[in-house]
Amino acid sequence: MIGRDLLGIERLERAEIERILDTAEHMREIGTREVKKVPTLRGRTIVNLFFESSTRTRASFEIAGKRLSADVINFSPSTSSLKKAESILDTARTLDAMDPDAVVVRHAEAGVPQRIADVLAAPVINAGDGAHEHPTQALLDLLTVRQEKGCIDGLTVTIVGDILHSRVARSNIYAFRKLGAEVRIAAPPPMIPCAIEALGVKAYTSLREALEGADVVMALRIQNERLAGAYFPSTREYSATFGIDRAKLRFAKDDAIVMHPGPVNRGVELAHDLADHRPGVILDQVRNGVAIRMAVLYLFAGRQPAEAAR
């Protein structure tokens, strides 16, 4: 790994991504043993600094750290800095004085892990920052597709949903493009970000066209609380035009797989049966999540590289 931190996929090279995936393959095997633990990070401290609550991702990092025998500490400062006297950087500086071996940061606002990495000596792992990036999610998505399809080069990946507000979309766009796939996005027009083509994807407002010949269909969660009425009129209409179900899947390749970062709004962006049965592969994604996070912790924690590229 070249850099000290894992802030996003945008700055990773293809070889680094493949290294993480290969390492994760080996980590998966540990989950099949009876004693699901190796002593590799024994005595090391991993801090989960989750400004935005997230049971799933935090649990996944916690299990990953514990399987590597690390001591995992969970910090959940109150969501808004405005409520506290302590700024985010003050929290980070306080943490730094405790000498953690890695800090996993999740925040509702973009750019926070980067600012924290600037003041922290420890490696920073981005567990999701606003609408910017969610690198471990993209890595586990890559791993899942690689397991299903063998190789990413030449595949067509279609990402459907609220691209504008989605860090999963951005990270996956970088990830799949770097490994040689063609990436398409499909969304109602208000949710297609400005100049998204500059990231190397083709934007579609017709789901059918976007699905033609797709090998991988990735459905994103619709935040109905926040967006219905503003960016699209109703979940009913969203589901009818952009929701993924078996009928719409017919436009994709016969062996296309369906993915979702979770949690699923059943019946909205994804039909019930696809959430539970093949060609949906959501549970595989979750399993791979622990393996990827173990690989990331193994490769980044406690590292003092000769040239810490930031």
Partner 1 sequence: MNRILLRGGRVIDPSAEHDEIADVLIEGERIAAVGRGLRADGAEVIEADGFWVTPGLIDLHCHLREPGQEYKEDIGSGGRAAAAGGFTAVACMANTHPVNDDPATTDFIIDRATHDSPARVYPVAAATKGLEGVVMTEMVALVEAGAAAFSDDGKTIMDGGVMRHVLEYSRLVDAVVITHAEDQTLVGGGVINEGAVSTRLGLRGNPPIAEVVHVARDLILAEFTGGQLHVAHVSTKGAVDLIRQAKDRGVNVTAEVAPHHLVLTDEATAEYNTNMKVSPPLRSEEDRDACRRGLVEGVIDAIATDHAPHAQHEKELEFSAAPPGMIGFETALAVVLDLVRSGELSPLELIRRLSTHPARILRRAGGSLAVGAPADVSVIDPARSWIYDVAKSYSKSRNSPWDGATLTGRAVATLVNGRLVYDVERGILI
Partner 2 sequence: MRFVKPEGSSAQGAEVGGGAGASSEVWPSHKPAATAILDEVGIRRSLMRIAHEILERNEEPDRLYLVAIPNGGVPLARRLAANLREIADLVVPVGVLDTTLYRDDLLSTGERPALRQTEMPSAVDDHVVVLVDDVVKTGRTIRAAMDALMDFGRPRVVQVVGLVDRGHRELPIKLDYVGKNLPTHPDDEVQLRGLEGGLRGPLELVVLSTEEASESRGAGK
Contact residues: partner 2, CB under 8 A: 1, 19, 22-23, 26-27, 29-30, 33-35, 37-41, 44, 68, 298-299, 302-306
Within 73-216, where are the H helices?
A: 88-96, 112-119, 135-149, 167-178, 207-211
Of 4, 44, 106, 132, which one interacts with partner 1 (CB under 8 A)?
132
Q: Please give the Cα distance from 33 to 29 (Å, whole number).
A: 7
- The answer to whether residue 221 forms part of the interface with partner 1 (CB under 8 A) is no
Could you give the string, one character per residue 136-175, with x where binding to partner 1 holds by CB under 8 A and - elsewhere?
-------------------------------x--x-----
- The answer to whether residue 30 forms part of the interface with partner 1 (CB under 8 A) is no
Of 53, 74, 78, 87, which one interacts with partner 1 (CB under 8 A)?
87
Q: Please give the Cα distance from 274 to 95 (Å, whole number).
A: 42
Q: Which is nearer to partner 1, 80 or 208 (CB)?
A: 80
- The answer to whether residue 109 forms part of the interface with partner 1 (CB under 8 A) is yes
CA atoms within 13 A on the CB side of 83: 5
245-269 b/e (C-beta count within 10 Å ≥ 16 → b): eeebbebbbeebbbbbbbebbeebb
* 206 and 186 Cβ atoms separated by less than 8 Å: yes
Q: Which is nearer to partner 2, 101 or 133 (CB)?
A: 101
Q: Which is nearer to partner 2, 23 or 79 (CB)?
A: 23
- The answer to whether residue 200 forms part of the interface with partner 1 (CB under 8 A) is no
* 239 and 270 Cβ atoms separated by less than 8 Å: no
38 binds, among partner 1, partner 2, none (CB under 5 to 8 A by kind): partner 2
Q: Which is nearer to partner 1, 7 or 282 (CB)?
A: 7
305 binds, among partner 2, partner 1, none (CB under 5 to 8 A by kind): partner 2
Stretch that binds partner 1, among 63-71, 107-115, 139-147, 291-299 (CB under 8 A): 107-115
Q: Which is nearer to partner 1, 204 or 298 (CB)?
A: 204
> What part of residues 282-301 is at the interface with partner 1 (CB under 8 A)?
none
| Residue 298 structure tokens | 């193994």
Residues 6+ apart with CB under 8 A from 208: 248, 251
Give the residue carrying structure tokens 């049966």. 273
Q: Please give the Cα distance from 153 to 260 (Å, whole number).
A: 21
273-296 b/e (C-beta count within 10 Å ≥ 16 → b): ebbeeebbbbebbebbbbbbbbbb
Q: Which is nearer to partner 2, 1 or 249 (CB)?
A: 1
| Residue 48 structure tokens | 């989960």
Least distance to partner 1, CB of residue 67, Å:
30
Stretch that binds partner 1, among 140-148, 188-196, 232-240, 274-282 (CB under 8 A): 188-196
Q: Please give the Cα distance from 63 to 290 (Å, whole number).
A: 7
- The answer to whether residue 189 forms part of the interface with partner 1 (CB under 8 A) is no
Distance between alpha carbon 160 and the CA centroid of its chain, in Å? 15
* 260 and 273 Cβ atoms separated by less than 8 Å: no
Q: Which is nearer to partner 2, 174 or 300 (CB)?
A: 300
For partner 1, the binding residues (CB under 8 A) are 10, 80-82, 87-90, 107, 109-112, 114-115, 129-133, 167, 170, 193-196, 198-199
